Amino acid sequence: MAKKGEKKKAAKAPKARKITIRRRIIISFAVLGAILIAFTFVTLNELGKISRINTYINSTINPTKVHLQSLNEMVNRSSIYLQVYMVFENNNQKVEGDYKQKRALVWSEDIKNLYDTLRLYEKQWQNMDMKLKYLNLQTSLKKLENSQLLVEDVIAKKSDDIYNLENLENLENIQNEDLSSPQTNSREDAFSKRVLPLINQVHNEIIELQGIQNQELVQRRAEINRLWNVFWWLFVLLGVVLFLITLYLIRDLSGKILRNIHQIRNYAHTLRLGNFPMFATKIDDETSEIEDELKIIAQHLRRTRDFSLEIAQGHLESKLDVYEERSELGEAFLQMHEGLSEIAKLDEERRWVNEGLTKFNSILRESKAIRTLSDNIVTNLVRYLDANQGAIFVLNEQDFEIPQMELVSVYAYDRKRFMERNIRPGQGLAGQSWQEKDAIYLQEVPGNYTLINSGLGSSEPRSILVIPMIVNEDHVIGVIELASFKAFKNYEIEFVKKLAENIGANIMTLQNNDESQQLLNEAQKTADKLKKQEEESALSMQELVSTQEEMRKNQLELVGQMTAIDTTLATAEFDMQGTILNANDQFLSMFDYTLYEIREKHHSIFVDPTEVDKSRYKKFWLELQEGLPQTDEFKRITKDGREIWLNASYTPVKNDSGVPYKVIELAIDITEQKQLSMDFKGEIEAINKTNAVIEFDVEGYILDANSIFLQVMGYRLNEIKGKHHSVLVDSKDPAAVQYLQDWKKLSRGKSLSGEFQYVNKAGEKVWIRSSYNPILDLNGQPYKILNFAQDINDVKKYESELKRNTAILQKQKTELEQNQLALTGQMTAINTALATAEFDMDGNILEVNNIYLDALKYNIYELKEQKDTILLEDQDTTKVNYKKFWSELRMGIPQIGEFKRVAKDGSGVWLNATFTPVKDITGVPYKVIQLGTVVTQQKVLNMDYEGQMSAIYKSNMVVEFDMKGYILNANQLFLDLMQYDLEELVNKNHNVFVDDFTKISEDYKTLWDRLFNGEYVSGRFKRIKNDGTEVWFRGTYNPIFDLNGEPYKIVKFAQDITDVKYFEVKARQNTRWLKKRSEELVKANESIEEIRKSDQAKMEAKEQEITRLKAKIEELSQSNG
C-alpha cells in the first residue's frame, strides 16, 4: 500500500502553486469566444437573408413556372379533344370515349385546380407587372373556353366540314391556314377564327409571364451571390484573428510548458531504462502533479524489484502490495506464484493416478471370475481413495426379462456385507447413471440414502460418486458406487472413470467366456432334442397334410379378397418402429423405388425432411405403437423428389396376445389415376405358384433363381447368376436348338410353356415342365422373364423327400396362419379407409361398411339384400352400359372408374371405385367386392372450373399452341377477328400472324424461348389478319404444365385493342407538336442562362483587373514613399 503521508503531500501541494497557465488560457479563450459570438450573429443574419431568397425562389418562382407550363399543356389538351371530337362527328364515326366530356373535364377540373393554385402564388408575387399580365391571361382563358363551347355548338348543327380522317395527322399545318368561307357559322370558321387565335394569344401571354419569372429569378440569384461574398469575407477575417491569437498562445505558453514537459520526459526515460533518478529542479506549476505521480511510481517499482528478488530466492510465500489496490503487475507475480504451486500439485496428482492404474491393472490380470474380480476391485479401490464404502453392479441380461444390474460386491469398513439387490435403468443413482451413461457426483447426500457403520455408531456419508463402466463407446456393462465422509477431488473422479473403462472391458471379456461355455453346453442339449423331434415329425406328418388341405380352402377365400385389394390399393408393411418390411408393386411404382432400395429403411424416406422432426410426425408413430389406426390424406415424397398425395390408412396388426407387431398401409394415389402394374400382377401369380422359379432378362441372362430350382439343378446362385440360359440345356440336342429360337418370341412379349429337357450341374438330364412369362413395364414392353417350373423326375430319395416335405408343410402352416392374421388386419385397414360393399352376381347387396352407409345416408337394414338399382337413377338401370357392366363382372372382368350413385335423400354421390369379382376354387366368380373413395366434392369443383373456363372463352379470344408454336385450337371470337376458319389454322405455325420482319427479330425468338422455358409472357402484340391488315392485341401467353412440371402446350388469352392503339398514335402526333414548343422554350431559357453566365464572367474579369491595378498603385506608392 502507498504511504498516507505521500498522498497527503500530493494533495496539499497544488494549493501553493500559481495557476498562471490556466489564467492565460481562460482569458485567451474568452476573447476568442466573444469574437465567435459576434461572427455567429453576423453570419446568421446573412444566412437568413439567403434562406429567405431561396425560399421565395423554391416556393413561389419555380412552382409558378411549372404551373404556367401545366396550364399551357391543359389548354393544348382541351384543343386536341375538341379537334378529335370534331373529326369523328364530321365522319359520323363512333369513337371510344366522350371527347366532348373530356374537354369539359379539363376546364372544370384540371384548369380550375391550376387557377386555385396560382391564386395562392399570386399573393406572394412581388412584381406588379407579373400580376397585371396574369389578369390579362385569365381574361384570355375565359374567352378561349367560351369559344370552344361555341365550336361545339356549331358541330352540333351537323354542317359541312373540310376535315377528314386522312388529314387529322396534319392538324398543326391546318391550324395555320386561312380558311375563308362565306358560312360564318360553319365549324371550320368557328374553330379557325375563334379558337386558334385565342390559343396563340394564351401561349404568348404564358411565355411573357415565364419571361418575367426568369428575369426575377436572375435578380434573386445575383442577390444570393452578393450575400455569399459578404459571408466569405467574414469567414476569412475570423480566420486571421484566430490565427493571431493561436500564435500568441503558442509563443507565450510553449516556453513555460515545454520546459517542464522536457524535465518530466527525461525522468520517465530514466525509469524506462530501469533506474530510479531524482528531479533536477522543482516544478512550480500544474505539471508538478505529474512529478508527484512519477515519484510514487518509482517507489512502487522499487517494491516490485524487491518482490522479484524474493521469488527468485524461492520465497514463494512473499506478496507484493503496491498502490491502494493490487496492481496488474503485482497480480501477475501472484499468479506466477500460484501457477508454480499448482504445477507441483498436478504432478503429484498425475503420479498418484498412474500408480493407481498400474496397481489395479495388475488386479484385473490376476482375476478369472467376475465376483472375485469385483471383490478385489472394490476393496482396493475404497482403500486407495480413502473412502468408506463401495459397491459394484454388473449387467445381467440373461436371468431377467428386462435387463437389470446385479449387485456383485460390497465393501464397508474393511468388512464385506453380502446383499441381494437388483436395479433397473433409472432406478436410484446407479440406475440413473446407467440410463444416462454418465457419472453422478453428489456432495449433498439425501437423508436415509445410506449409512456408514462402525463399532461406535453410524453416520451419513458426505459425498456419493457413481461411475458407469462403458465399453464399445456406448454400452454400459456395470456401475461403481462409492461413499465417503470426505469430498472426492476432481483428479480422483477422473481416475475412477478411467479405471471403470478398464474394469468394464475385463468384465465383458469374462462374461463372453462364460457365455461361450454355456453355448457349448446348450448346443449339446439341442442336438439331443433335435434327434427326438425328428422322430416326432413323422407322426405329425398326417396331421399337417390334413391341416394344409383345410387351410388351403381358407386361403382361396382370402386370396380372392387379397386379389381385390392388391389390384386396387398400394400396400406396404412396417414394423412398429417404422422400418419397411414389404411393399407391393403399386406402392413401389407410386414412389419410383424398388423393394431392395427401401426394405429395412425407415418410413421417413417418403416424408418431407422438414416434417420428420416435428411433433406431429412423432405423434403419428406413437399412436400406431399404441394400436391406434391412422387414416387421413398424407403428403409424400417420391424417389425423384416429386410430391404426391395419398388417401391412406395405417392399421396396426396384432398377434395372438393382442400386441401390435407390424403396421399395414393401404393407400390410393389421389394425384392421378392409378395404372395397373403388370409387374405386380406377374409377381403375385409367380408367388402363388409353388414351383421352382428362375428370372431372366429379355436377352436370356439369369438374374435370380429360388432355392427349389437351384436344388433341382444342383447349382448355387452365384454359379449361374449373370450367365446365359443356354448353360441349362444341351446345345447339341435338336430340341434345345428349337428352345433357343423360341426366346425370340419371349422378347416380343409372347408367353412360352411346355416340357423341356435341362442339364444339371452334374451333367444329368432333368425334365422340367416350365411356363415362361414376360413381365411388362408401364409402356407394355417386356423387361424381364419369369419361368415357373416343376420337377417331373420320378426318382427321388424317400428319406430326404419326407424330411423336406415335413419342413415345407410346417413352414406353410406357419405362413398361412400369419397370412390369415395379416389379411384380417388388411381388411380392417380397408374398412377404416375406403367405402366397401359386397354384391352377389345378380347385383344384390350382401354387405356394406359404415363409410359407404354414411356417404349414401342409409342404414345397413335398408340396403342389405336389396338390388344395387336402389342406388341408381331410374333411367340408368335400363341403359346398355349398366347391363354391360354386370355382364363383364360375371365374366370375371374388374370394373374401374368414377360411378354416380343416388343417396337416400335423392342427392348425387360420386365414387372413384373398383368392382372386383371374387372367384371360388373352380375359378367361377361368386361375388363382387367394391372398394372406393367418395369424390363428390372434387367432382363439383371440376364442374365449377369448367364453368369459369366457359365464361373466359365467351369473353376473350383464346388460341392454343404446342411447344413448337403450332396451332392446336382457337375459339370463334379469335377466328372471326383474324378472318380464318379453324381448319385453315390447325397445325399452322404461330408465325402466320406476324410480318416478315417480326419473324426474324430477336424479340420474337426471345418470346418463344421464354415460353419454352415455362415463363408467363404478357403485353401488347401486333398481328396480321388473313386479309393482310394489322390488328393489336393486349394478351397473355400462358404455359400449361403436365404432372411432371414440364410445359406441354401454350394458351393465349387476348383482347382486341386496335382502336385504342389508333387513338394513341393520334395523341402522340399532337404531343410531338407540344414537345416541339416546349423545346423552343427550354432553348430560350438556356440562351438567357448563357448570357447571364457570360455577363458574370465579364464582371469577375473586371474585378480581377481592378484588384491588379490597386495592387500596382500600392506598390508604386510604397516605392515613391
Take residue 977 and report the three cell numbers written for it: 377477328
Q: Does 658 reside within a domain?
A: no
CA distances from 67 to 9, 126, 931, 934, 1003 (A): 81, 18, 78, 69, 41
Q: Does 676 reside within a domain?
A: no
User: What element of type H or E holds 631?
Assistant: strand 630-637
SS3 label, residue 537:
helix
Band of the pLDDT at 173, cuts 50, 70, 90? very low
Supply the CATH number for residue 468's domain. 3.30.450.40
Same domain? 86 vs 211: yes
Same domain? 786 vs 922: no
Same domain? 1042 vs 961: yes
Same domain? 42 vs 125: yes
Q: Does 750 reside within a domain?
A: yes
Same domain? 415 vs 494: yes
How far apart CA 801 and CA 798 sit, in angstroms, is 5
How far apart CA 152 and CA 107 sit, in angstroms, is 14
**pLDDT of the residue at 281:** 62
**Which of 485, 465, 488 lies closest to 392 in space, CA to CA?**
465
Same domain? 904 vs 996: no
Residue finishing a domain among 940, 970, 1004: 940
How far apart CA 347 and CA 328 sit, in angstroms, is 28
Q: Does 530 reside within a domain?
A: no
Q: Does 297 reside within a domain?
A: no
Tens-digit pLDDT profile for residues 729-750: 877 777 666 777 777 777 777 7
Same domain? 756 vs 854: no
| DSSP calls for 14-46 | GGGS--HHHHHHHHHHHHHHHHHHHHHHHHHHH
Mean pLDDT check: name the lowest of 61-70, 221-230, 534-543, 947-956: 534-543
Q: Does 845 reside within a domain?
A: yes
Top mean pLDDT of 323-337, 599-613, 767-781 is at 599-613
User: What element of type H or E holds 211?
Assistant: helix 196-272
Residue finishing a domain among 913, 940, 967: 940
Residue finishing a domain among 240, 270, 295: 240
Top mean pLDDT of 284-298, 346-360, 364-378, 846-860 is at 846-860
Residue range(s) defining the domain that contains residue 230: 22-240
Same domain? 1045 vs 979: yes
Supply the CATH number for residue 788's domain. 3.30.450.20
Same domain? 922 vs 960: no
Q: Does 570 reside within a domain?
A: no
Same domain? 398 vs 515: yes
Same domain? 85 vs 169: yes
**pLDDT of the residue at 341:** 65
Mean pLDDT check: name the lowest of 39-43, 491-495, 859-863, 1099-1103: 1099-1103
Same domain? 763 vs 897: no
- Average the pLDDT over 596-613 and give the result: 87
How far apart CA 499 and CA 376 sit, in angstroms, is 13
CA atoms lying within 13 Å on the CB side of residue 925: 24
Burial class (CB in 10 A: 0-12, 13-18, 19+), 269: exposed
Take residue 191 and report the three cell numbers written for it: 374553330
The answer to pTM > 0.75 is no
Q: Does 346 reside within a domain?
A: no
How far apart CA 367 and CA 953 sit, in angstroms, is 94
Percentage, residues of the chain above pLDDT 70: 70
Band of the pLDDT at 1080, cuts 50, 70, 90? low
Residue 490 pLDDT > 90 = no
Take residue 508 and report the three cell numbers written for it: 465383458
Mean pLDDT check: name the lowest of 548-557, 960-969, 980-989, 1011-1020: 548-557
The phi, psi pair for 906, rounded to 5°, reads 90, -5
Number of structural domains found in the chain: 5
Band of the pLDDT at 451, cuts 50, 70, 90? low
Percentage, residues of the chain above pLDDT 90: 4
Tens-digit pLDDT profile for residues 111-159: 888 878 888 877 778 778 787 878 888 888 888 888 878 777 777 665 4
